[in-house]
Structures are given as C-alpha cells and as structure tokens.
Amino acid sequence: MNGVNLLSYLMPVLTVLISVGVGAFISGKSWNRQRQWEMRRDAVLEAVCAMKELELEVLSLRSVHLTIQHFASPGAMGQRKNSMSGFLASSVKFYRSIFVSELSVGVDFGNTLLAYFHAVGSIAQEFEKGNPEFCTSEKFREILDLSEEVLKVARKKLNIKSTD
C-alpha cells in the first residue's frame, strides 16, 4: 500500500475518531455546566426554604409576645422559650445555607442573604429583650423587601426570567 492509498483508507477512520472525541468533549462541558447550574439551584432553593422558615419563626415570636402581653398565663414563658428555640434552630439552618450559597452561587448572593439574616436577627433580639416597640410594621416591611431582593438576586444567578 502506498502513502496515498493508506491516507485515503485512514482519513474516514480518523474523521470519525476526531468527531467522536470532539463530541464527547463538548458533551462533557455541557454536562459540567448543567451540573454546576443544578448545584446553584439546589443552594438557592435551600436558602430560600430556610429564609421562609425563619420568617415563620419570627412571626411565631411576635405572636407569642403579643399573647404574653395581652393574656398573662402560667405557660406563657414556656411558650416564649419554645418559640425562641425554634427561631435559633432555624437561624442555624439559614446561616449554614448562606455559606453553601456563597460557595456555589457567589458572594453577592451570600451578602444579600446576610443582610436579610441581620434584619431578622435584630427583630428576634428585640423580642427576646422584651422590647416590642422596636418591632414595628416598618421593620417587618424591611424584612419583606429584603426577602424580595433575595429572590431577585436568586433569579438573576439562575438566569430565570422574572414573572413580573
């Protein structure tokens, strides 16, 4: 077999091998991109779920405080302690989700979550101190605004178009 015949024989085989290799390489990159997006999605979902759980715990704190304020009962302090324990457990879960989010989504998303966490924490601290005057509707509006900001940044990070 001379060089030209050998080349004409090997050319289709090499073409197939190269195209399969390039296809596998591109497929691998696509898979990696998809996997990274899924990791970001999971971190965002975990953070948003923890954030909403924290909101419910703050509302529970408020409810217990209002109950204590208006109806002094023997079990009121136990309710307050249970409510604060629920808040602290949710805080730990949310704080952990901030770190996971910073790793997989980005520091700016983590900073948005942290701003929310500080706002919620300041309200909870005032409830624990027995200082309900601090916990105004404006403070709760601030929490809702920060919650909306978290969702906005999350949509941006996941390239999800807003439904607004």
CATH number (domain holding residue 134):
1.20.1440
**Structural domain of residue 135, as residue ranges?**
43-157
Q: How does DSSP assign the chain, residue by residue? A: --HHHHHHHHHHHHHHHHHHHHHHHHHHHHHHHHHHHHHHHHHHHHHHHHHHHHHHHHHHHHHHHHHHHHS--TTHHHHHHHHHHHHHHHHHHHHHHHHHHHHHT-HHHHHHHHHHHHHHHHHHHHHHHT-GGG--HHHHHHHHHHHHHHHHHHHHHTTPPP--
Q: Is residue 55 part of a domain?
A: yes
pTM, rounded to two decimals? 0.72
pLDDT for the residue numbered 145 = 92
**pLDDT score for 83:** 80
Domain assignment of residue 124, yes or no: yes
| 32, part of any domain | no
Is the separation of the CB atoms in 133 and 66 below 8 Å? no
Q: Is residue 2 part of a domain?
A: no
Quote the CA–CA distance of 150 and 20 in Å, as a whole number: 43
Digit-by-digit pLDDT tens for the chain (164 residues) are 554 555 565 556 556 555 656 565 656 666 677 788 888 888 888 999 999 998 888 888 877 777 766 666 666 667 777 888 888 888 888 888 988 888 888 889 899 999 999 988 888 888 777 776 677 788 888 888 999 999 899 888 888 886 65
How far apart are the C-alpha atoms of 66 and 90, rounded to whole Å?
21
Number of domains in the chain: 1
Is there a domain that residue 122 lies in? yes
Is residue 90 situated within a structural domain?
Answer: yes
**Cα 80 vs. chain centroid, distance in angstroms?**
28
Residue 107 lies in a domain: yes
Say what the pLDDT of residue 149 is. 92
In a domain, 34, yes or no: no
CB 113 within 8 A of CB 47: yes
126: tokens are: 């005032």
